[in-house]
Chains A and B, each alone.
Chain A
Amino acid sequence: MEKWECTACGYIYDPENGDPDSGVKPGTPFEELAEDWVCPQCGVGKEFFQKMS
């Protein structure tokens, strides 16, 4: 599964880790994150994220 990077602050969403503090289990692909999920580091929305090459 691909990692996605927040273009606002550099935070990297790694699907293997998920985002447990926000209730996102490890193994959750980025595409399956809820529309109102925000970057755990800075709070911007999914639209700021881009797939890492």
Chain B
Amino acid sequence: MRVCIVGNGLAGAMFAKSLRDLGGDMDIDIYGEEPYLYYPRPNMIEYLAGRIPFERMFAFEADWYDKRRLGVHLKTPVTGLFPDLREIEIAGKRRETYDVLAVASGARSFVPPIKGADSSHVFTFRTLDECRALIDRLQKKKGLIILGGGLLGLEIARGARARGADVDVVEFFGRLLPRQLDEGGAALLRKQIEGMGIRVHLGRACREIRNDGENLRLQFKEGEDMVAESTVIAAGVRPNIDLAQSAGLETDKGLVVNDGLQTSHPSIYGIGDAVQFRDRVYGIIPAAFEQARTASRHVIGEDVRYTGTIPSNTLKIAGLDVTSVGLVNPENEETEEIGWREEERGMYKKLVLRDGMIIGAIWMGTKQGIGEINRLIAAGTSIEQWKNDILHEDFDFSVIL
């Protein structure tokens, strides 16, 4: 049997690893368009910050793949899918045949319709080559404006700052991390970020970027222009589904898959950032990994079902532990919110409840209790009778769990 994998990111690499870990003996070939072995995206921030050397970017070395008989083909993009023939086209030239195909084509940076976004010294930050280009520029010129105050924008800000850059973050919404945090939590995070010497600007929409040769001048819908030597656009990502669409596979926002991670063609699986499951495109590591793992088990014939991933980000942002789980910004819902904060200690907690059950949580400045909260969300347990106490530091969860 032969398994081919489109994409050499986390989903593709972990899918291959998982097949071997499960004892799968089939031929496995991974095709990646980049010139690098699999690298975890979080490593890019450490590399940008100068905290790890280039050699530590990669999860596994070349001999790791050889020992597991994994064929890895770099700088080799898959340029066409032919589901009925069970063939893929490689680099516009030749064809390869497979028994099972996994599409793990990931996502690409979204660039909003900003005039001049294609100017030189305007960067996106998704690939290692883009990271290296940014580092190269920052080594010459220190000024940087980051468009996007979400997870990636803030991580780039922190990494660039650690390298000595002069950084402004500009966010379109009225708060940082708009998808994960509410106003209160975002305000706490802003203080932390500004405390690192990063300037934050909220509610600003960039309309045009002009390059005068030396500097970029950014014009906004309202308010003053901003000028800097470089800009990074960190405005989100979009699934890479062109290949799948051309091949006639079912797509919507992403490549649509069922609970076996199969696309509309049963011999083709979809995993990772490119994929949509029950109307959701996750774009987070735990989902990519769970999908890769479940799909590999399905391939070897196990009766497994993927039931989705509870979106949970537990990250250290600007030195602050920030955990966001489930639905944290309810709209038009019959929900209730309970909160607790101790700003001097940089702590903030919020729970979103529906019918007494926790459906969302934000925890900042502490991780105590978050594991138990995750379990309560997954179990759908009512915490109605403990509402008044559950956010206290010394709450004993064993009364519920």
Which positions in A face B, CB cutoff 8 Å? 5, 7-11, 21, 38-39, 41-45, 47-48, 50, 52-53
List residues of B (304-322) whose CB comes within 8 Å of A's CBs: 312-316
Listed A/B pairs (27) with beta-carbon separation below 8 Å? A5-B314, A8-B40, A9-B285, A9-B289, A10-B286, A10-B313, A11-B286, A38-B59, A38-B60, A39-B40, A41-B285, A41-B286, A42-B42, A42-B59, A42-B289, A43-B10, A43-B13, A43-B39, A43-B60, A44-B40, A45-B56, A48-B42, A50-B316, A52-B367, A52-B371, A53-B367, A53-B368
Q: Interface residues of B, CB < 8 Å — how many? A: 26
B38 at the interface (CB under 8 A from A): yes
Q: Which residue of B lies closest to A50 (CB)?
A: B316
Given the known inter-chain contacts A42-B289, A43-B10, please indicate yes or no for A7 contacting B21, CB distance below 8 A: no
Compute how far the CA of A5 lies from the CA of B321 in the bound complex, rounded to whole angstroms: 12
Residues of A within 8 A of B215 (CB): none
Given the known inter-chain contacts A38-B59, A53-B367, please indicate yes or no for A47 contacting B314, CB distance below 8 A: no
- Between A and B, how many residue pairs show CB distances below 8 Å? 57
Residues of B within 8 A of A5 (CB): 314, 367
B196 at the interface (CB under 8 A from A): no
Given the known inter-chain contacts A8-B285, A9-B286, A21-B21, please indicate yes or no for A43 contacting B40, CB distance below 8 A: yes
List residues of B (45-63) whose CB comes within 8 Å of A's CBs: 46, 52, 56, 59-60
B43 at the interface (CB under 8 A from A): yes
Task: Tell me if B286 and A8 are in contact (CB < 8 A).
Answer: no
Compute how far the CA of A23 lies from the CA of B60 in the bound complex, rounded to whole angstroms: 15
Residues of A within 8 A of B21 (CB): 21
* Contacts A38-B60, A43-B13, A52-B367 supplied; 16 other A-B pairs, CB < 8 Å: A8-B315, A10-B286, A11-B286, A21-B17, A38-B59, A39-B40, A42-B10, A42-B40, A42-B42, A43-B10, A44-B42, A44-B43, A45-B52, A47-B46, A48-B42, A53-B368
Nearest Cβ on chain A to B115's Cβ, whole angstroms: 35
Task: Tell me if A7 and B314 are in contact (CB < 8 A).
Answer: yes
Residues of A within 8 A of B314 (CB): 5, 7, 10
Residues of A within 8 A of B286 (CB): 9-11, 41
Over the window 60-94 of chain B, the binary record of Cβ atoms lying under 8 Å from chain A Cβ atoms (1 yes, 0 no) is 10000000000000000000000000000000000
Compute how far the CA of A12 lies from the CA of B111 in the bound complex, rounded to whole angstroms: 34
Task: Tell me if A7 and B60 are in contact (CB < 8 A).
Answer: no
Nearest Cβ on chain A to B354's Cβ, whole angstroms: 24
Task: Tell me if A10 and B40 are in contact (CB < 8 A).
Answer: no
Residues of B within 8 A of A21 (CB): 17, 21
Task: Tell me if B40 and A7 are in contact (CB < 8 A).
Answer: no
Task: Tell me if B368 and A9 are in contact (CB < 8 A).
Answer: no
Compute how far the CA of A44 lies from the CA of B57 in the bound complex, rounded to whole angstroms: 8
Q: Which residue of A lies closest to B39 (CB)?
A: A43
Given the known inter-chain contacts A8-B285, A10-B314, please indicate yes or no for A43 contacting B368, CB distance below 8 A: no
Q: Which residue of B lies closest to A52 (CB)?
A: B367
Nearest Cβ on chain A to B306's Cβ, whole angstroms: 16
List residues of B (248-297) whose CB comes within 8 Å of A's CBs: 285-286, 289
Nearest Cβ on chain B to A33's Cβ, whole angstroms: 15
Nearest Cβ on chain B to A52's Cβ, whole angstroms: 7
Compute how far the CA of A50 lies from the CA of B21 in the bound complex, rounded to whole angstroms: 26
Compute how far the CA of A39 lies from the CA of B39 in the bound complex, rounded to whole angstroms: 12
Residues of A within 8 A of B285 (CB): 8-10, 41-42
Chain B CB within 10 A, most for which of A9, A21, A41, A50: A9
Nearest Cβ on chain A to B401's Cβ, whole angstroms: 17
Nearest Cβ on chain B to A41's Cβ, whole angstroms: 5
Residues of B within 8 A of A48 (CB): 42
Residues of A within 8 A of B60 (CB): 38, 43
